[in-house]
């Protein structure tokens, strides 16, 4: 898709459509950067949850795994729409919902602040609190 955009860009630039090209490439780059930022925070969530559940085993780990899967699937769909140059509104709404649900679940389970109440505890390293920024803060990251 990027190769096609570059070829199209060269053709359009020869007929004086440079502004369109600049706008199209900027939108593609912004969407790609945004997807990368969300992907980074999903990795942070996954690592934090893995460390937390190593210390505090719980059946809730399956819920977190499912929520991470949902968020990564939504991210892949968003990324595909960006790469195709389509309208990202619906894909971004689904990603926003999945990220928010994951963040809320991690908070409710005490994973974000590393606070487990009751239940078994292993000798695994003690988890550290971590933060997932709210959705609206991700655009500025």
Q: Examine the pLDDT at 100 and tell me if it is beyond 60.
A: yes
Q: Encoding tokens for residue 16?
A: 């004086």
Q: What is the pLDDT of residue 22?
A: 52
* Neighbouring residues of 124: CB distance < 8 A, sequence distance ≥ 6: 51, 54, 55
The residue to which tokens 């487990």 are assigned: 116
Q: Which fold has domain 36-138?
A: Methane Monooxygenase Hydroxylase; Chain G, domain 1 (1.20.58)
- 19-73 tens-digit pLDDT: 554 555 555 578 888 899 999 999 999 999 999 999 999 999 999 999 999 999 9
Full-model pTM: 0.78
Q: Examine the pLDDT at 88 and tell me if it is beyond 80.
A: yes
Question: From CA 101, how far away is CA 77, in angstroms rounded?
Answer: 17
- 58-73 tens-digit pLDDT: 999 999 999 999 999 9
Q: What is the pLDDT of residue 110?
A: 94
């Amino acid at each position: 898709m990027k190769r096609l955009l570059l070829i199209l860009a060269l053709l359009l630039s020869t007929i004086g459509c440079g502004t369109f090209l600049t706008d199209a490439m900027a939108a593609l780059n912004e969407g790609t950067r945004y997807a990368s930022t969300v992907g980074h925070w999903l990795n942070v969530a996954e690592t934090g949850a893995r460390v937390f559940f190593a210390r505090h085993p719980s059946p809730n780990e399956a819920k977190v795994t499912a929520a991470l899967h949902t968020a990564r699937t939504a991210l892949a769909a968003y990324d595909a729409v960006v790469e195709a140059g389509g309208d990202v509104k619906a894909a971004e709404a689904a990603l926003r919902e999945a990220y928010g649900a994951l963040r809320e679940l991690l908070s409710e389970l005490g994973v974000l602040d590393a606070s487990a109440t009751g239940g078994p505890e292993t000798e695994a390293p003690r988890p550290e609190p971590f933060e997932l920024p709210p959705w609206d803060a991700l655009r500025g990251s």
